[in-house]
């Protein structure tokens, strides 16, 4: 029995946010360890970075960049910290995080609670650079100029980031997702492109799964024009597929298993809109090597997960990586890059 299986019932007695806080604290106490070795077939280059495994930790687990090294050593090929806003903010009133155990899902309306970019910059600046750590940036809820917040975040966090993610798809900051709309998106990405220093980290754009037909083409065009290096598809959904848990009616973004089919549809729509011209990173409901494989052959160069950790523990990242390597062998493929979009 894994240690996680043993501890899970204990963690589930706690309120979801308390359990998360306790997890971060425990991870912070882990002694520093070497980064794991992954099968060579899993290493690939995306946006100019060399990823040792395509299985990454999605944003929101380590908002303040407290434990990226622990998560890398537990078997993630890359870790995305954040969302970080320019100024610290409290987020929404508690409770704001709900486990939907019967659905292997989570609903959150955290609202970008974080200690702010200044504190995270100092913390991340103290670590020895190893592994791939991306920094996800957002806008403060009360910001008079959200575009300026993104531009400031890109500039501020670049020195400690292997890549940066522009998160315009959180449903928990009112109006934020409007930045995905035509004119605003072009303006935002233009402003970011101007701010980027030559030789700086690549910039990814994270989108919502809740888009209309036509949005995918428009977003891909804006991303290519705005020199975005990859799209992360997707954030949590405001839709509610059928759910069994008593928390189903909670407001916020839904993630985990029920998001899977929606996120896969969105990935396919972005693949067909981009024809492979823009690397795609899949997130949403990935809980097994099969789930990850389906995203890869649908066009994802990398995958990320968060909610499945709650139900399957941190060993999951390594199990998915090994499962992907086994599928490559079965299919006579030498490298994960051959599988991308092959389905």
Say how far apart CA 308 and CA 104 lie, in whole Å.
7
161 binds ligand FMN (CB under 6 A): no
Is-contact 82 114, C-beta < 8 A? yes
Which residue's entry shows tokens 């097994």?
Answer: 288
Which of 143, 170, 255, 301 does the annotation list as catalytic?
Answer: 170
Size of the site for ligand FMN (CB under 6 A): 27
Say how far apart CA 284 and CA 113 lie, in whole Å.
21
Say how far apart CA 216 and CA 224 lie, in whole Å.
12
**Residue 81 vs 273, nearer CB to ligand FMN:** 81
Q: Which stretch binds ligand FMN (CB under 6 A): 2-10, 180-188, 272-280, 305-313?
A: 305-313
- Rounded least distance, CB 307 to ligand FMN, Å: 3
Q: Which stretch binds ligand FMN (CB under 6 A): 30-38, 54-62, 195-203, 323-331?
A: 54-62
83 binds ligand FMN (CB under 6 A): yes
- Mapped onto helix, strand or coil, the DSSP state of residue 98 is strand
Interacting residue with ligand FMN among 44, 92, 235, 301 (CB under 6 A): 235
- Rounded least distance, CB 58 to ligand FMN, Å: 3
- The candidate with the shortest Cα–Cα distance to 186, out of 218, 208, 155, 231, is 218
77 binds ligand FMN (CB under 6 A): no
170 is catalytic: yes
97 binds ligand FMN (CB under 6 A): yes
Task: Pull the structure tokens for residue 102.
Answer: 């019967």
Q: How far apart are the first and last CA of the chain?
A: 35
Distances (CA, A) of 312 to 5, 9, 138, 227, 308: 8, 12, 29, 37, 6
Task: Give the residue at shortest CB distance from ligand FMN.
Answer: 60
Interacting residue with ligand FMN among 86, 171, 202, 256 (CB under 6 A): 256
286 binds ligand FMN (CB under 6 A): yes
Interacting residue with ligand FMN among 53, 136, 140, 301 (CB under 6 A): 136
Task: Please list the residues that pair with 204 across neighbouring strands.
Answer: 165, 230
Interacting residue with ligand FMN among 305, 320, 328, 340 (CB under 6 A): 305
Is-contact 300 340, C-beta < 8 A? yes
Q: Which stretch binds ligand FMN (CB under 6 A): 3-11, 302-310, 315-323, 327-335?
A: 302-310
236 binds ligand FMN (CB under 6 A): yes
- The candidate with the shortest Cα–Cα distance to 180, out of 140, 220, 137, is 220
Is-contact 335 51, C-beta < 8 A? no
Is-contact 282 306, C-beta < 8 A? no
63 binds ligand FMN (CB under 6 A): yes
170 binds ligand FMN (CB under 6 A): yes
Is-contact 138 167, C-beta < 8 A? yes
- Residues lying near ligand FMN in the complex (CB under 6 A) are found at 58-60, 63, 82-83, 97, 106, 108, 110, 136, 167, 170, 206, 235-236, 255-256, 259, 283-286, 305-308
Catalytic residues: 170
């Amino acid at each position: 029995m894994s240690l996680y299986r043993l501890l899970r019932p204990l963690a589930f007695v706690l309120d979801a946010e308390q359990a998360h806080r306790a997890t971060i604290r425990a991870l912070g106490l882990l002694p520093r360890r070497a980064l794991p070795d992954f099968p060579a077939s899993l290493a690939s280059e995306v946006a100019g970075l060399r990823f040792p495994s395509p299985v990454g930790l999605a944003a929101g687990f380590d908002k303040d960049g407290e434990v990226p090294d622990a998560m890398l050593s537990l078997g993630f090929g890359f870790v995305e910290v954040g969302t970080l806003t320019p100024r610290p903010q409290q987020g929404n009133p508690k409770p704001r995080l709900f486990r939907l155990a019967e659905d292997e899902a989570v609903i959150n309306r955290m609202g970008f609670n974080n200690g702010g970019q200044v504190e995270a910059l100092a913390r991340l600046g103290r670590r020895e650079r190893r592994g791939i750590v991306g920094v996800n940036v957002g806008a403060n809820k009360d910001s008079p100029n959200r575009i300026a917040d993104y531009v400031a975040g890109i500039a501020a966090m670049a020195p400690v980031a292997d890549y940066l993610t522009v998160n315009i798809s959180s449903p928990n900051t009112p109006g934020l997702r409007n930045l995905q709309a035509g004119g605003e998106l072009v303006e935002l990405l233009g402003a970011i492109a101007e701010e980027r220093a030559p030789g700086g980290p690549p910039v990814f754009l994270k989108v919502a799964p809740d888009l209309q037909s036509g949005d995918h083409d428009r977003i891909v065009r804006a991303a290519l024009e705005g020199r975005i290096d990859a799209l992360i598809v997707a954030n949590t959904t405001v839709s509610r597929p059928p759910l069994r848990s008593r928390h189903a009616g909670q407001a916020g973004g839904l993630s985990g298993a029920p998001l899977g089919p929606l996120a896969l549809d969105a990935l396919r729509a972005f693949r067909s809109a981009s024809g492979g011209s823009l690397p795609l990173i899949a997130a949403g409901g990935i809980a097994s090597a099969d789930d990850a494989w389906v995203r890869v052959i649908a066009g994802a160069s990398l995958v990320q997960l968060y909610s499945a950790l709650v139900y399957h523990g941190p060993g999951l990242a390594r199990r998915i990586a090994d499962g992907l390597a086994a599928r490559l062998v079965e299919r006579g493929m030498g490298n994960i890059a051959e599988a991308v979009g092959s389905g």
